[in-house]
């Protein structure tokens, strides 16, 4: 049985994809990923490779199970392979799968690098399809928290929560479309959130405590 490569695409721009990840993508007989992920790596793919667009998770697992004995498969996932990743689902559902995991640069790592700062004193959470108590998370953090957001839990929505809970002096740093040509990084205080009411593109949010 051949190994299943699980490659973290990172922020999206293939300039930030690791060399090991590129090798796994180029050597695969089948490359699996979301439509956006496959588009991002299109320059690395060749005509002989089969491309499978990841839509329904159960269908994807069934397809992998069918092909694993004869084909080398690379599954491309966005962001970090070790944080709320498709990897966990694959490991639980692909019987007798042998995995080779190649991590990518996460969006928050990239954002902190752009800011020239480190993140060891921040707590990391995902509000992508899930809820957390943001005021409580802030109280339990040293420097602040990092949030991977979604359309519902947008920077504007989170800013309103901060105001409501007397965290108006928290600095909000929003990184949108990170690593892409239209990348945008915005910094403002929660107290000014109404001036920043808009639709936010795919983003990561830092809530920074200032001394």
Cα–Cα dist 53/176, whole Å:
24
Mean pLDDT of all residues belonging to the chain? 92
The gap from C-alpha 13 to its chain's centroid, in whole angstroms, comes to 12
Q: What is the pLDDT of residue 129?
A: 80
Closest C-alpha among 99, 101, 204 to residue 154: 204
32 pLDDT more than 80: yes
Mean predicted confidence (pLDDT) in 114-121: 96
pLDDT in tens, 121-146: 999 998 888 889 999 999 999 999 99
- All domains in the chain, ordered by first residue: 4-102 (3.40.1010.10), 107-208 (3.30.950.10)
pTM over 0.85: yes
How buried is 81 (Cβ within 10 angstroms: 0-12 exposed, 13-18 middle, 19+ buried)? buried
Q: Are 183 and 115 a contacting pair, CB within 8 Å?
A: no
The reported pLDDT for the residue numbered 1 is 63
CA distances from 49 to 42, 45, 67 (A): 11, 7, 13
């Amino acid at each position: 049985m051949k190994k299943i490569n699980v490659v973290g695409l990172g922020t999206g721009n293939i300039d930030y994809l690791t060399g090991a990840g590129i090798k796994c993508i180029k050597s695969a007989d089948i490359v699996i990923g979301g439509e956006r992920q496959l588009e991002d790596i299109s320059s690395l793919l060749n005509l002989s490779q089969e491309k499978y667009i990841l839509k329904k998770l159960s269908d994807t697992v069934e397809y992998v199970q069918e092909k694993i004995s004869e084909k080398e498969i690379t599954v491309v996932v966005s962001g970090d392979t070790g944080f709320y990743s498709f990897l966990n689902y694959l490991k639980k559902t692909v019987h007798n799968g042998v995995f080779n995991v190649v991590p990518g640069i996460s969006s928050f790592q990239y954002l902190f690098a752009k800011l020239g700062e480190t993140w060891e004193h921040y707590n990391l959470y995902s509000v992508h399809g899930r809820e957390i108590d943001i005021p409580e998370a802030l109280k339990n953090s040293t420097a602040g928290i990092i949030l991977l957001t979604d359309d519902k839990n947008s920077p504007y929505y989170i800013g309103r929560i901060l105001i409501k809970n007397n965290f108006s002096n928290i600095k909000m740093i929003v990184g949108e479309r990170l690593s892409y040509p239209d990348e945008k990084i915005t910094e403002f205080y929660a107290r000014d959130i109404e001036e920043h009411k808009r639709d936010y593109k795919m983003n990561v949010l830092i809530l920074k405590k200032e001394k």
